[in-house]
Amino acid sequence: MLSYDEEEGILWLHPVFAAITKQVPDGKQSIIVTIDDCDCEDCDQDRGPVDMVSTLLIHLPTDAGIAIQRLSAKEARALGNVLVDYANDLLDFNEALDDER
């Protein structure tokens, strides 16, 4: 079930799945977002009882390894909508500042 709080430009998303970290020796420093639709043995094991093609994975590089957060489609949509809204607010705000200069 989707669980989040939002107030004054801050979103607290409470995902169903816990984040994990993995050590990736040659990991690139890229944020990766993907639909979990891989049927290889490793992905099957990571997914456990979760249905394939039912969640998204966000890979976030950190100094402690790659943080991997699994999100339901509704969680991902809530996060994505907020990212777009906040980014548009920032762009609008900065454009208004530029117009004043």
Using rule CB under 5 A, residue 38 touches Zn ion: yes
Q: Which of 23, 24, 16, 79 is nearest to 49 (CA)?
A: 16
Choices 18-26, 37-45, 63-71, 84-92 (CB under 5 A): range interacting with Zn ion: 37-45
Among 1, 10, 40, 97, binds Zn ion (CB under 5 A): 40
Q: Which of 50, 49, 55, 53 is nearest to 70 (CA)?
A: 55
Minimum CB separation of residue 41 from Zn ion in Å reads: 8
Using rule CB under 5 A, residue 35 touches Zn ion: no
Q: Which residues, at least 6 apart from 52, have a Cβ–Cβ distance to it below 8 Å?
A: 36, 37, 38, 39, 44
Using rule CB under 5 A, residue 32 touches Zn ion: no
Binding site for Zn ion (CB under 5 A): 38, 40, 43
